[in-house]
Amino acid sequence: MQTKLLATSPSLQKLHLAKKFTQILSIAKKILDEYSLCTACTGRLFAKKLGLLSYEQLGKRIYHLLQKREPTKCFVCKNFLLKTNYFVDKLLEISSEYEFSTFLVGAILKPSIVDNDDEIRSKFQLRGIDSVKTDFTNQIAKIFSKKTKSRIDYLNPEITLTIDLKTDSCQVKSKPLFLFGKYTKTERGIPQKEKPCSNCEGNGCRTCKNHGICTFDSVEGKIAQVVFDKFGADQIKITWIGGEDKTSLVLNKGRPFFVKVVNPKKRNIKLGKKITQDKVVIHNLHLIKQNPKTSIPFKTKIQLHVETEHNITKDSLKPIGTLIKNTIAVYDKNKRNEKLIYSVKYDMLSSTSFSLFMTADGGLPIKRFVEGTNVFPNLTDLINTKCSCKEFDFHEVRLV
């Protein structure tokens, strides 16, 4: 019991610390006799051994006790460890428009800085010491955390701040958000996808304000307008559940879609159940945890307007009924896919046209199914006359 009390007594602890400090001064003198180090780098080499947090204060004490003059430029960090407040102010400025509760700070250093740091630590056998990069980012993160009342998250931060010491610049990137919703399209002539910016081919540039698109005349463009406005994002990436022609309508409950929101500034946004963008209506757009990583099976109810090269009769259309519960083989570059037809209903419109209402697996190429281009069976073969699809509309697109 007496031994334990002696081991933990304040006087012995101070004596032990004093011995450590004497050893450190001896090593520090050897280092500073050979290398010009700033007070922050000097303190960093020994602070952990002493259990201290302030590297710069320890470095100043070492310089004072050794009666050395501080150098104008540090051999290791080139004095950037002494400019933490300068870089924190830069990070505060570039992150001011972002909503976040967690963050991570990273840094890009010149290779010579890392090499010089490694040289000293190896030469003087200084183990268990933070690298100059780790120390710099940790110091910045602590100050930034206090000023923004946010916390450091090493695994899944909402924003990542990067200080590039090569160019004396800072960047911020936020964790993507993911959305799910449906859209309806009640007017023909609106394409599903937007053309990429001709200047950057969709990668993002000043011309397109980093969006990758310049116009907003498609379904993709209408969705993008909403997301850019609400979340202040750079770009969106849409995962479509099937596609349609420019002339197609998407009716009833609409077509599902997923959105990856790239570099959003706002995160806590309330979205309405119905957002009208001209003739495109977005339904129940809401945040989800993650977009699907594999393709999702779906079924569609489609209405087709089919025109024929020769006259048809009700009897000539009867073979269409054999499609029910039948598998359609689709060939693409020697690859075979199968789609199932669940139901069909047809009506003559004229002697050379008819409508077909059917439920099928999603992904069936409608026009090729009508014309018979590498799709078997197909309408052209079934009714024994060349068919073409004038229009096709979607009445339901359902995930299964």
Catalytic positions, written as ranges? 245
Which residues share a beta bridge with 394?
A: 250, 302
Asked whether the beta carbons of 203 and 212 are under 8 A apart, the reply is yes
The two beta strands, 177-185 and 280-288, are antiparallel
Distance, CA of 139 to CA of 54 (rounded, Å): 9
CA nearest to 190, candidates 246, 248, 243, 242: 246
Beta strands in 80-186 (DSSP E): 102-108, 151-152, 159-164, 169-174, 177-185
Query: What would the DSSP string read from start to end of 378-391?
Result: -HHHHHTS-EEEEE
Name, in order, each residue with C-beta under 8 angstroms of 247's C-beta and a sequence gap of 6 or more: 188, 189, 391
Maximum separation of any 2 CA atoms in the chain, in Å: 111
Asked whether the beta carbons of 326 and 344 are under 8 A apart, the reply is no
Query: What would the DSSP string read from start to end of 215-231?
Result: ---SHHHHHHHHHHHHH
Distance, CA of 131 to CA of 140 (rounded, Å): 14
377 cis-preceded (ω within 30 degrees of 0): yes
Give phi and psi for 261, each to the nearest 5.
-95, 115
CA nearest to 82, candidates 68, 70, 93: 70
Task: Enumerate long-range contacts of 50-54, CB under 8 Å, 24 or more apart.
Answer: 50/17, 50/20, 50/21, 50/24
For 366, the 3-state DSSP assignment is helix
In order of 143, 208, 239, 311, the CA distances from 236 in angstroms are 33, 13, 10, 48
* Look-up of token digits 């310089």: 63
